[in-house]
Amino acid sequence: MEIIITDNRISQGKTNVTGGIFFKTDSGFFPEENWNDFVLIIAANWINEYLSFLNSSGSRTFTLCFMDGASEVVGTLKDSGNYCLEYVRLYIDSKDVIFTEIVSKADFEKQLTKACRKSMRIASTFDMNEQVGNFRKMLDKLKYINPV
């Protein structure tokens, strides 16, 4: 599993940065290859969701949502070292699990750390100093749980 944030498709609107952000797995891409969305918002939401999951007592799942479209990745603690990730499309009355994979906790955290670093660089490129500071704080928390 790899979280991909593409550099070549980044653009800044009035208040948001959009670009390619998606998952690459052995089963395919999710939501699709070169998915375009609000990169910095999504990366920050995913990292904060995961950090909240780690800090909660008793929670066994976390959900990483995309903003454009109805897609999410649901992670469930399988055992102390692995997550089961479900790649899900949401519909009005149902959901469809596109594929499922087992990912080690260490690999998942490395991918989130990589996404955080890339997001921090993107924010820096656009002189978004507050976002750079926020990503730096998240990176420090991620380093604490998974020193790489």
- How many whole angstroms separate alpha carbon 124 and alpha carbon 115? 14
Helix 105-125 to helix 39-55 angle (10° resolution) is 140
Residues 44-74: tens digit of each pLDDT: 999 999 999 988 877 899 999 998 779 999 9
What would the two tokens of residue 15 be? 């208040």
Q: Is the pLDDT of residue 147 over 60?
A: no
Residue written as token pair 């992670």: 75
Local structure of residue 81 (DSSP, 8 states): T
Tell me the average pLDDT of the chain. 90
pTM reported for the whole predicted model: 0.90
Q: Where are the domains of the chain?
A: 2-145
